């Protein structure tokens, strides 16, 4: 495993972390045993960064992580959770000190801890980034000691660029992968200049970039890859990175010959992300031990050759860019 600085948080975290959405809910059935084995495997192979949210399985994911901390008291861990999505309706005025404090109190209970390592706003409406009072509320929570650091999880590059103007914002979580390349254009440079840690989510484009899917693939009714393909429940960009499934499959076939010998396509997808040194960590979701181990091992692959990097850019430009670049 490689370890990288998480920007100005002062934390040093594994370059491949663990995305704990799938073990919470919205990805079909994942048993308690599979979830705990996946988490323990991640610890065994050197993963130290865990990303969850209060809404993943309505707290189920946070509670698994609390259990992991109890079972592995000596393992170094940085746990990031998120707040905001319990708001109903999900509106900017809900992002106030009172609501955020209540959400954090619930997460502290689920996570069985006194203070949250990293709290992220959970893709708030764009307007929240133009409301200094939201960030003041977060600063006050740091002063009160209920959170140690905070950051934002964003949908759009523009939101990320605005968020990092607030000095208390230590991290930005954003979608970045071979099918979502825009963050590398300007945002990475700006974040680096301000020492903001970058957490890359949806690195496998919801599994599409693992190369295991086909036109015949089907998903359970309670898996967002069934129910959110067109953004029916939340932002469309969160499902298959916003790429139309069938054209994504065609692009995947063009990427397949680039997989290094002895590696898997999922590992190529993750290693591609880690080629960008502005990235602190990437957080693939894993629903079993095998995925957790395979994903972590991607950090140990040799750097990808220039020709591979160039070819992936070319595939993006020819097949994907028009679908996504202007949207996020
Ligand atoms: N708004 C937000 O802040 C937000 C939104 C989305 C995600 N996130 C965070 O980012 C994390 C990662 O994103 P994600 O989980 O949406 O997408 P992802 O990491 O791109 O895809 C994860 C899925 O890919 C499949 N997979 C994982 N490893 C694999 C491997 N080695 N080989 C083959 N298939 C593999 C698994 O599903 P199957 O086995 O079922 O195919 C897994 O659930 C989440 O867990 C969450 O922590 C945050």
Task: List, for residues 36-78, the tens digit of each pLDDT value.
Answer: 999 999 999 999 999 999 999 999 999 999 999 999 999 999 9
Q: Is there an atom of ligand 1 within 6 Å of 27 CB?
A: yes
Confidence of residue 28 (pLDDT cuts 50, 70, 90): confident
Residue by residue, DSSP assigns 246-291 as HHHHHHHHHHGGGPPTT--HHHHHHHHHHTSTTEEEE--B-SSHHH
The whole-number average pLDDT for the span 7-13 is 98
- Give residue 95's pLDDT band: very low, low, confident or very high (50, 70, 90): very high
> Which stretch of 23-32, 169-178, 190-199, 263-272 has the lowest confidence by average pLDDT?
23-32
Q: Is 65 in the pocket of ligand 1 (CB under 6 A)?
A: no
Does the C-beta of 19 come closer than 6 Å to ligand 1? Answer: yes
* Mean pLDDT value across residues 274-296: 97
Q: Take atom 35 of ligand 1 and give the residue whose Cα is closest.
A: 207
Residue 238 C-alpha to ligand 1 middle, in angstroms?
10
Residues 185-202 have pLDDT tens digits of 999 999 999 999 999 999
Taking the C-alpha atoms of residue 235 and residue 225, their distance in angstroms, rounded to an integer, is: 12
205 lines ligand 1 (CB under 6 A): yes
Model confidence at 231: pLDDT above 90: yes
Binning pLDDT at 50, 70 and 90, where does residue 26 land? confident
Q: Is any atom of ligand 1 closer than 6 Å to the C-beta of 179?
A: no
* Digit-coded pLDDT (tens) for 125-169: 999 999 999 999 999 999 999 999 999 999 999 999 999 999 999
What local confidence, expressed as pLDDT, does residue 106 receive? Answer: 98
pLDDT given for residue 25 in this prediction: 87
Instruction: State percent of the chain over pLDDT 70.
Output: 100
- Decide whether any atom of ligand 1 lies within 6 Å of the 212 Cβ: yes
**Inter-residue contact 29 to 59 (CB < 8 Å):** no
What is the whole-number distance in angstroms between the Cα of residue 9 and the centre of ligand 1?
Answer: 24
Whether the predicted pLDDT of 29 surpasses 90: no
Whole-model pTM: value is 0.98
Q: Which atom of ligand 1 is nearest to the CA of 265?
A: 32
Q: Cα dihedral sign for 165, 168, 170, 173?
A: negative
Q: CA distances (Å), 207 to each of 25, 244, 247, in order? A: 16, 13, 15
pLDDT at 322 over 90: yes
Residue 224 Cα to ligand 1 midpoint, Å, equals 11
CB distance 132 to 95 below 8 Å: no
Average pLDDT of the chain, as a whole number: 97
């Amino acid at each position: 495993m490689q370890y990288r600085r998480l920007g100005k948080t002062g934390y040093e975290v594994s370059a491949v972390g663990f995305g704990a959405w799938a073990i919470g809910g919205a990805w079909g059935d994942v048993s308690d045993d599979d979830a705990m084995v996946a988490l323990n495997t991640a610890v065994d192979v050197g993963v130290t960064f865990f990303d969850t949210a209060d809404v993943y399985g309505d707290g189920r994911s946070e509670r698994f992580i609390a259990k992991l901390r109890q079972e592995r008291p000596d393992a170094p861990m940085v746990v990031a959770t998120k707040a905001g999505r319990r708001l109903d309706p999900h509106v900017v005025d809900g992002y106030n000190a009172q609501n955020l404090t209540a959400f954090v109190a619930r997460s502290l209970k689920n996570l069985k801890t006194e203070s949250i390592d990293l709290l992220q706003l959970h893709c708030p409406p764009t307007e929240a980034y133009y409301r200094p009072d939201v960030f003041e509320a977060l600063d006050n929570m740091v002063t009160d000691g209920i959170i140690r650091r905070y950051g934002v999880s964003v949908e759009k590059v523009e939101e990320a660029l605005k968020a990092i103007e607030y000095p208390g914002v230590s991290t930005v979580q954003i979608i970045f992968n071979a099918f979502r390349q825009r963050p590398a254009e300007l945002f990475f440079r700006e974040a680096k200049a301000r020492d903001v840690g970058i957490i890359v989510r949806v690195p496998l484009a919801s599994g599409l970039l693992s190369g295991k899917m086909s036109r015949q693939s089907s998903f359970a009714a309670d898996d967002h890859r069934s129910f959110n393909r067109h953004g029916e429940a939340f932002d469309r960009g969160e499902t298959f990175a916003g790429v139309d499934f069938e054209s994504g499959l065609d692009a995947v076939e063009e990427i397949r010959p680039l997989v290094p010998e002895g590696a898997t396509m999922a590992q190529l997808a993750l290693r591609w992300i880690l080629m960008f040194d502005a990235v602190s960590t990437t957080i693939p979701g894993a629903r079993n031990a095998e995925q957790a181990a395979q994903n972590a091992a991607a950090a140990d692959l040799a750097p990808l050759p220039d020709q591979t990097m160039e070819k992936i850019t070319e595939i993006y430009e020819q097949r994907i860019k028009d679908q996504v670049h202007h949207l996020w």
